Each structure stands twice: as structure tokens, then as C-alpha cells.
Amino acid sequence: MKRIFFYIHLLLLTTLCLLLPISAASAADEAFSERISGMAEITGIRDSFNGDKTRIVIDATKPVKYKKMVLSGPDRVVVDIENAWLSPKVDKHIHIDNRFVGGVKIAQFDPKTVRVVVETKVGKNNYNVFALSSGKTPGRIVMDFGNLTDSDDAQIDMSKTGSHPSQPKTEPVKPSTPPEPAEKQEPAGGEDMDGELAGITGLKGRIIVIDPGHGGSDSGAIGPTGVMEKSVTLRVSNEVKRLLVKEGATVYMTRNADIEVSKKRAKATDIEELQARCDVANAKKADIFVSIHMDSFTNNAAKGTTGYYYSLGDKRSRKLADKIRAGIVDQLGTQSRGTQSSNFYVVKHTDMPATLVEVAFISNESEEKMLDSEEGIRKAAQGIADGIADYFG
């Protein structure tokens, strides 16, 4: 009788051990299904070549929205597909290497973003990105590269690229419902991110110090309706930090609230306050220092974006200032006032490439209104982040 009970007990234990993994897998499947509920699945990426143009098509199970940015050194077009997840059946690397496109990489950038990076050999006016939501595939993003027209409506001369067309090829990927893709944890910001794609954008592991201008007892300039410079610079800086951390950078802020940076607070002299901001960047051994400001002038018609650097400082500072200014102008549509040399304390007393950017004129009523809106803050921050990404290439 004891032997019978022993075998029954052994059978129950064996059955339990077999059921536990099934139960765990079922729970994981349920968690995955819940996480992707409402998101678009990226089911395929394919390319074709007709001699004059390379077309890359990304297929999705529903219409999608995307954001685009351009990087240089080497030239790349980056497309972030929002609210989407990548099927692991999709080939993450496509080698094209014709006279227009070098290659394509795609990966799950964060839990809700799929990133596509295209190494391109054409100028900025000779590619096009657009979305389609008609046809048999519910959602598509189309990227064309090649003999489009330049800004003068003339065809580009691709003979200078020194490469030859490859044979046409199409690699359709059928839709599938796979298990949850593996996600890599990054220390910066705790975001899920594909390390290789982070490396492509050049921000992974970079140490960046963002300096929101003014703060505490120093309001900075005040706009026609009372908007304070110190408030705008902090809001923009917080969004810049979020964007850069998402890209894998380590970001420090000279201030995270409406306070002075110096330990003496309001009792600090102007020099002590400015030096305290430089000390943050120098102590952290930052790769770059970016001080964010709003411009002001007695004539409220003055407008636009200006980048400043110290000409006797790090030789890379001008490039940094130029890239960030261009990024802001591209996002906000402000007038470019150029990149200029200056003696501003914070760009003169930092040990790394440094810039002070005047995003727009708070004394101009329309630019004050723009930078007091959520959209204006978001676009200004995106422009600064794009410029930094372009600087690191």
C-alpha cells in the first residue's frame, strides 16, 4: 500500500513539474499580448531598384505615424515608427549597396518605437519618405532614394558616386505572429533599446550636460505677455534630456528646478553662478555642453535662432553650435541668424565643445507664444536633439 501511495505522489509531482512551464509560458504570452494591444506590427521590409531609384517599403498591420531625422558622417536617414513592434521574423539587416543606398537596419528601438536607419549616398533633396494606407497591406512607409530632383529642379549627377547599380531584388516578408522580441536593458534612463542602432546614431554612452539658462532669482528676459525665459529654458531642457536618454546618452542638467546652480543660491555673484554651471560639465567630463536660452531685443520685430561658440576654445565648438542651430531652424521654421563667435562665460570656461543657443526671441510676441506652447517646446527640443545627434554622427 505504501508503494502505491509513493507512485501516486511521484506521478502528481511529475505532472505538476510539466504544467508549471506551460503556465509560465501562458502568462508570458498574455503579458505580451496585452503590451502590444492596439500597436501596429511591422511585418516586413523589402527593397527594389529600377536604375533611377531605390525604393524601400516597410509593411505594417495598420496605418502608422513616423518621425524622420537626417544624420551625417556618414549620411543616414532615420525613421522612427511610432506605436509599433517589430516581428522577429523580419530581417534586421538588408545589404543593398547600389549607387543610392548602402544598407538598411531595423530594430525595436524602445517598447513602442521601431527604428529604421538607411545609409544613403544621395543629397538631402534626393530622397522622399511618405506613408500609405491603401492597397492590400493596411499600413506602409515608403522611402525613395535616387534620381529625384534637387532644389533647382535638376536631376542629380550620380556618376560622381563611383559605384554601379545592383541587380533588382525584392525580399517580401510574410506577416507572422511571433513570440515577444528580446529587449535589451540600457542603464541610461532605463529604456529598452537596440544597442546597435543606438551606436549608429552616435549617442550611446555619450556624456552630455544641458544648461537651462537663468533660474531662481534670475528670470532672464520676459516676453510681452509675461512669459519668463527661465521657465521656457527649463521646459525645453527637460524634453531634450528625455530625448537624449532615450537614444542611450547619459545626460546631466545644471539645474532641474527653478533655482540657481551655485550653492550660494541668490547670494552668488554673476560670475559664481556662471562658473557653477561650467563646474558641472567639467566635473562630469562631459563630451559636450549645451546652454539653452531665449533671445531678447528692444525692437520686438527681432526674431530667429542663433548659435554661439567661443572661437579660442575647442575647435569642435563651432560645428556643435552650427548643427544645433540648424536642427532648431528645421523643426521650428524660425529665421536662421547664423552661428557666431562670442565671449559668453559658459562657453569660454568649459573644457569640452560648448555652445550657447538662443532658440528664439521671447521679446517677439509670436515667438514667445510659440515657445510657451507644448508643440513649440517639443519641436525646439527635437531640433536640439537632432543637432546633437548630427554632431556625433
Which tens digit of pLDDT belongs to each residue from 83-106? 999 998 898 888 888 888 988 999
Cβ contacts of 33 within 8 Å, gap of 6 or more: none
Across the strands, what pairs with 44?
Answer: 59
Is residue 388 helix, strand or coil? helix
Give percent of the chain with pLDDT exceeding 90: 57
Checking if the pLDDT of 109 tops 90, the result is no
Angle, CA 327 vertex, CA 293 and CA 128 arms, to 5°: 160
Of residues 206 and 103, more confidence is placed in 206
Per this entry, what is the length of the chain? 393
Which tens digit of pLDDT belongs to each residue from 142-180? 999 987 654 333 344 443 333 333 333 333 333 333 333
Nearest alpha carbon to residue 98 among 55, 35, 40: 55
d(CA 144, CA 127): 5
Checking if the pLDDT of 280 tops 70, the result is yes
Cβ contacts of 27 within 8 Å, gap of 6 or more: none
Query: Directed axis angle between helix 229-246 and helix 374-392, to 10°?
Result: 50
Lowest mean pLDDT among 93-97, 127-131, 146-150, 187-191: 187-191
Q: What is the pLDDT, as a whole number, of residue 114?
A: 94
Checking if the pLDDT of 190 tops 70, the result is no
Q: What is the pLDDT, as a whole number, of residue 267?
A: 95
Nearest alpha carbon to residue 313 among 265, 272, 270, 346: 346
**Model pTM score:** 0.61
Checking if the pLDDT of 16 tops 90, the result is no
d(CA 144, CA 140): 13
Cβ atoms of 253 and 316 within 8 Å: the answer is no
Is residue 338 helix, strand or coil? strand
Ramachandran category for residue 357: left, alpha or beta (phi over 0 → left; psi -120 to 50 → alpha): beta
Checking if the pLDDT of 26 tops 80, the result is no
**Cα torsion 373, 378, 383, 385: sign:** positive
Backbone angles phi, psi at 60, to 5 degrees: -135, 160
Beta strands at 66-71 and 76-82: parallel, antiparallel or unpaired: antiparallel
Q: Which three cell numbers stand for residue 138?
A: 493596411
Q: Which residue has the cell 546633437?
A: 388
Average pLDDT over residues 309-335: 94
Q: What is the pLDDT, as a whole number, of residue 206?
A: 95
Checking if the pLDDT of 195 tops 70, the result is no
d(CA 170, CA 333): 38
Q: What is the pLDDT, as a whole number, of residue 350?
A: 98
Which tens digit of pLDDT belongs to each residue from 28-54? 556 667 778 889 999 999 998 887 889
Q: What is the pLDDT, as a whole number, of residue 178?
A: 37
d(CA 203, CA 371): 26
Checking if the pLDDT of 212 tops 60, the result is yes
H helix intervals, 174-333 = 195-200, 229-246, 270-283, 317-332
Cβ contacts of 211 within 8 Å, gap of 6 or more: 237, 253, 254, 255, 277, 280, 281, 289, 290, 291, 292, 346
Residue type, 180: E
Confidence bin at 385 (pLDDT 50/70/90):
very high
Checking if the pLDDT of 14 tops 80, the result is no
Which tens digit of pLDDT belongs to each residue from 214-239? 999 999 999 999 999 999 999 999 99
Rounded to a whole number of angstroms, the CA Rg of the chain reads: 26
Which tens digit of pLDDT belongs to each residue from 252-271? 999 999 999 999 999 999 99
Give percent of the chain with pLDDT exceeding 70: 77
Is residue 356 helix, strand or coil? strand
Cα atoms in the Cβ-side hemisphere of radius 13 Å centred on 220: 26
Confidence bin at 20 (pLDDT 50/70/90):
low
Residue type, 277: R
Confidence bin at 185 (pLDDT 50/70/90):
very low
Checking if the pLDDT of 27 tops 60, the result is no
- Considering the chain, what is the average pLDDT of its residues? 82
Q: Cα–Cα distances in Å, from 1 out to 5, 15, 307? A: 6, 21, 89
Which tens digit of pLDDT belongs to each residue from 61-72? 999 999 988 887
Cβ contacts of 12 within 8 Å, gap of 6 or more: none
Residue type, 161: T
Confidence bin at 294 (pLDDT 50/70/90):
very high
Backbone angles phi, psi at 192, to 5 degrees: -80, 135
